[in-house]
Amino acid sequence: MNAAATRAHEAFTAAYGSAPDGVAFAPGRVNLIGDHVDYCDGLVLPMPLAMGTAVAWRRADSPGFEVRAADYAGEAHRFTPEETPPIRDGWRSLVHGMAQLLFEEGASLDGLELLIAGNLPRGAGLSSSASLCIAAGRAILDASAVSGFPPERLARLAQQVEHRFAGVACGIMDQMAIAAGDPGNAMLLDCRSLGWRQVTLPQDWSVLVVQSGVERELVDGAYNARRSECERAARKLGVASLRDVDPEAADFAGLDPVEGRRARHVVYEIARTRDAAAAIDAGDLQALGALLREAHVSMRDLFEASHPQVDDQVDRLNAAIGSNGGARMTGGGFGGAIVAVIEASQAERIAQAINPSTKHQPAIGAGAIRVFN
């Protein structure tokens, strides 16, 4: 059992008086490159983390679900899956929403006691909410003795939960990375077909995840607005989605300035993601680093989804890294985490360079990923 699962098991036993029947787990994810392109049918390169969310569960004889959240002072939510989930109510909306959608898909149970415990920082752009949805979904499926539920289907349901009950018009990257991926290995995911392949980083590279300290708060509105701008740009360009714009032949002249910036970001970010996977395959850290730096500039200047404090940290990291690797803000933006891919031997020096008091949390991932505060 990993750290989150052990904590969920212990907290469940303390809260409900005896041990759970099982503990389900789902990781968080860091996206190496390809941000704000998933809802444009683009290519993304996320990597599931070893940190994540655990949901301990036990079947109950009395009807109804009871969920307790160890990370929120043991707050509880009681419901039946047929009841309408609360809207935009944090973890309650997510767990209740998953239960409802899985019941519509045929899961069935009399009653269930659940306890959530995780070790992903919230609001850090590491996908704590998709991680919770998938972990809760797995717990409900395990408790219903449903096996072989396709990961793509679970990912789609978790995305629906975000759309319908959390008010976030997110793409499919996080849910797919978390439901289908493998902690410590990146995946090149085609968000149109949901086809993907594993992309393995060379052993002597390291992935650093640095928490910027700028929390992503109340950014759902800005996220949804960006998505609408991309959809408007696609309509004006006469394509189903920005994925269909050829980067070599793109003509953005018919767009207004905002749509033009958004569309340029998306079209070239998809191309960069394809190139980044090729650079990793070729073991070319310099080429990958250049793409990561370009991707950050694009999120900052074209997508306008960065934050001055994050830009400052990215610049300092890139200065410390030099040409052998690169750093960028990762995920939805407006704060959150920074990802850097560097030579493993340089990890400590580079992390110290951005913050001399940085202390790193226990190593996570397949030995190569480290999360720094």
Which one of 29-37, 57-65, 98-106, 359-367 is the stretch in contact with ligand GLA (CB under 6 A)? 29-37
Nearest to 196 by CA among 179, 212, 184: 179
Question: Rounded to 5 degrees, what angle do the CA atoms 81, 126, 54 make?
Answer: 45
Which among 8-16, 104-112, 169-177, 213-221 is the span making contact with ligand GLA, rule CB under 6 A? 169-177
Which one of the spans 82-90, 165-173, 199-207, 341-349 is the region binding ligand GLA (CB under 6 A)?
165-173
Q: Does 331 bind ligand GLA (CB under 6 A)?
A: yes
Q: Which of 5, 9, 35, 299 binds ligand GLA (CB under 6 A)?
A: 35
Closer of 42 and 85 to ligand GLA (Cβ): 42
Sign of CA dihedral 39, 44, 330, 249: negative
Query: Residue 30: which residues within 8 A CB-CB, separation 6 or more?
Result: 46, 47, 49, 126, 207, 209, 330, 331, 337, 339, 369
Q: Which is nearer to ligand GLA, 44 or 347 (CB)?
A: 44
DSSP letters, 147-205, are ----HHHHHHHHHHHIIIII-----SHHHHHHHH--TT-EEEEETTT--EEEEPPPTTE
Of the residues 35, 38, 71, 174, which is catalytic? 174
Nearer to ligand GLA, 173 or 354 (CB): 173
Burial 81-100 (b: 16+ CB within 10 A, else e): beeebeeeebbbbbbbbbbb
Distance CA 189, CA 194 (A): 6
Catalytic status, residue 174: yes
Asked if 272 interacts with ligand GLA (CB under 6 A), we say no
The reply on whether position 171 binds ligand GLA by CB under 6 A is yes
Please identify which residue in 36, 96, 262, 293 interacts with ligand GLA, judged by CB under 6 A. 36
Q: Which one of residues 113, 174, 190, 229 is an interface residue with ligand GLA (CB under 6 A)?
A: 174
Question: Binding residues for ligand GLA, how many (CB under 6 A)?
Answer: 12
The set of catalytic residues is 174
Binding site for ligand GLA (CB under 6 A): 31, 35-36, 38-39, 127, 170-171, 173-174, 331-332
